[in-house]
Amino acid sequence: MGRYVKNIALLLIVLIAVNWISSAVFERFDMTSDGRYTLSDQSLELLENAPLPIIVDVFLAGDLPAEFRKLQQETQQTLEELAAVHPNLKFNFINPVEGLDDNERAQVVEQLGKNGVKPAMATIMDNVKRTNVVVFPYAIILYDGARTAVPLLKSVARASTEERVNSSIQQLEYQLMDGLRKVSQPKNKKIAIMRDSGELSNIKIADFLASIQEYYKAAPFGVEFVTRNDSISPVEVLEELKKYDLVIEPKPTIAFSETKKYILDQYLMNGGKMIMAVDPIVMENDSLSNEQAIAYPIPRDLEIDEMLFRYGLRLNSGLIKDLNFGPIALAAGQGRNTQYQAFPWPYYPISKGNPLSDKENTITKNIEDVKFEYTGSIDTLKTPNPKTVLLASSQNTQIVTLPAVVSLAEIEQQPDRSEFTASSQPLAVLTEGALTSAYKNRVKPFDTPSHKDQSAESALLLIADGDVMKNQVDRGQPQDLGYDRKTGVFYGNKEFMMNSVNYLLDDSGIIDLRNKDIKIPFLNTQKAYDERFKWQMINIVLPLVVLGIFGLLFTLSRKRRYT
């Protein structure tokens, strides 16, 4: 008896000691094979640089479908990891419309919409019964008086809800840390949006501009006016442009003057970064709005070929057709009865990377398909500066030599695979490093004492389609970049453009969070319903049978021992 009491006392002492050690020394262990709950160095740095209280309200509560409950659980797990590092991070899960009548619910939904929170429709399966519910897959992050809405459900073209949720879970840490970055980090970098060569209007790049301004300062900039204004010199314009960290050319349509080309050239030579989204082809859908529904695309000459050639790039005006394409939506009916029907359209290539390369680039990894419209292509030339093909057409490509005819009658024809024999064509190419000036050993349009023939470290991203950064406009309201309102499909254009901007402005650390590859297993609800009797037997009856057998054997053993 004494020995029994001694063992109990020893056990209690060990338990108390373990409990005290565990309370004094806190450590979390990630036992997942993919490191799902291990925070990246970039997240730890962001949390360290945000010492004030962080409040996160997550609108994922209440009766949710199974896939959204999984998103809820993973969001909670990620927030718990963040809170374990940042003691002043608090989070709540809220159902914003719980207990409200229809009128109150409508008011709340309207107010959430003004804050950037958009509802999504989901389906709850109860045996064979389907119930549609409205969910708000968003989080609101508040820091030092600033707030931002963080989308937790990623838009994935032509994907099921489970696939969207799986893709969203991969991006949870990135989305939350990106939101924290928006509200906690100052806007130190400046971006110049060129507005002097017939570029896209503000409303057509409104969503891209709004996305940029969440991170950086952006302002319109003009160069060409110096050729018509004697009150300011080109040298002064160049010096002013050097104050910007990035220059963006959104689909210029008017040929560049020598003055503008030289200013942009010297901006690059002085370590500048630039994105040029250029259409080498004159072709718009409006050109098909005639009785014959026929258009005649022609080359567009911006007189920048020689400048690009010096940087190791060449724009091609051959019209790209691809068997990996997005649809074109055509209207049927009139007025309120207008409906849109999607048709195959090989002139809309879609791409999410370079099919000829096994290496995934930081900019394009884990993004969705990027949609191009009537695009040309890019050749990379042998120059010392390295070049990276970010986006390319598929290996089933056709190059249409201009002039040519594009007719809507093609939607009634099945694409002939025998015509798509060209290899993959580069559509977006990044060149970095030491670039050679396009004006080396050439006559300059004006003299500047700071002329350089070689850059130390600069970068140029050339895209063979200006429409990549163009959003659609519905009744005077700009839509999300990458959203096709006529087909309801989201493309990855905004992701690609924002990743490119962040990368060029040395904010690639936060992009690296996209590199996590997390695979979330989901329950096959239809299979589970079909096999429910088998699993009920395994989970309920089998344990009872095993327990009964164990009890019987235990009883027989006791009887044998005492007889």
Write the pLDDT tens digit of every residue in 370-405: 999 999 999 999 888 899 999 999 999 999 999 999
In a domain? residue 318: yes
In a domain? residue 467: yes
In a domain? residue 549: yes
Question: Which uninterrupted H or E stretch holds 51?
Answer: none
Between 190 and 544, residue with greater pLDDT:
190
Say if strands 281-282 and 298-299 run parallel, antiparallel, or are unpaired: antiparallel
Domain termination residue (choose one: 182, 207, 242): 182
In a domain? residue 509: no
Q: Is the confidence at residue 507, as pLDDT, over 80?
A: no
pLDDT, position 553: 79
Same structural domain, 488 and 552: no
Q: Is the confidence at residue 174, as pLDDT, over 90?
A: no
Distance, in Å, from the CA atom of 543 to the CA atom of 293, rounded to the nearest integer, reads 70
Same structural domain, 245 and 175: no
In a domain? residue 361: yes
| Spatial contact of 234 and 226, defined as CB atoms under 8 Å apart | yes
How far, in whole angstroms, is CA 240 from its chain's centroid?
32
Domain termination residue (choose one: 182, 214, 244): 182
Percent of the chain with pLDDT over 70: 85
In a domain? residue 111: yes
Structural domain range at position 63: 2-182
Same structural domain, 79 and 198: no
Q: Is the confidence at residue 262, as pLDDT, over 90?
A: yes
| Spatial contact of 142 and 54, defined as CB atoms under 8 Å apart | yes
At 18-63, the pLDDT tens digits run 677 665 554 555 545 555 567 788 888 889 999 999 999 999 888 7
In a domain? residue 516: no
Q: Is the confidence at residue 110, as pLDDT, over 70?
A: yes
Q: Is the confidence at residue 139, as pLDDT, over 80?
A: yes
Same structural domain, 363 and 334: yes
pLDDT, position 80: 92
Same structural domain, 76 and 204: no
CATH number of domain containing 200: 3.40.50
CATH number of domain containing 159: 3.40.30
- Which of 70-79, 183-192, 294-303, 522-531 has the weakest average pLDDT? 522-531
pLDDT, position 35: 55
Same structural domain, 156 and 304: no
CA dihedral 256, 261, 267, 273 (to 10 degrees): 60
Q: In the chain, what's the furthest Cα-to-Cα distance?
A: 118
Which are the contacts of 469, defined by CB distance < 8 A and separation ≥ 6? 200, 205, 208, 250, 251, 277, 481, 493, 497
In a domain? residue 523: no
pLDDT, position 68: 82
pLDDT, position 547: 79
| Spatial contact of 531 and 395, defined as CB atoms under 8 Å apart | no
Tokens of 165: 């949720």
| Spatial contact of 320 and 377, defined as CB atoms under 8 Å apart | yes
Q: Domains in the chain: how many in total?
A: 3
Q: Is the confidence at residue 524, as pLDDT, over 80?
A: no
Same structural domain, 491 and 432: yes
Q: Which long-range contacts (CB under 8 A, 24 or more apart) does 226-230 make?
A: 226/259, 227/257, 227/259
Question: Which uninterrupted H or E stretch holds 388?
Answer: strand 387-392
Domain termination residue (choose one: 504, 521, 542): 504
State phi, psi for 347 to the nearest 5 degrees.
Answer: -80, 0
Same structural domain, 171 and 208: no
Tokens of 376: 């040309």
Between 121 and 264, residue with greater pLDDT:
264
At 414-437, the pLDDT tens digits run 888 999 999 999 999 999 999 999
Distance, in Å, from the CA atom of 214 to the CA atom of 491, rounded to the nearest integer, reads 21
Task: Say how many C-beta atoms besides its own lie within 10 A of residue 310's C-beta.
Answer: 17
At 53-98, the pLDDT tens digits run 999 999 988 878 777 888 889 899 999 999 999 989 999 998 888 8
How high is the mean pLDDT of the chain?
85
Q: Is the confidence at residue 463, as pLDDT, over 90?
A: yes
Average pLDDT over residues 464-472: 96
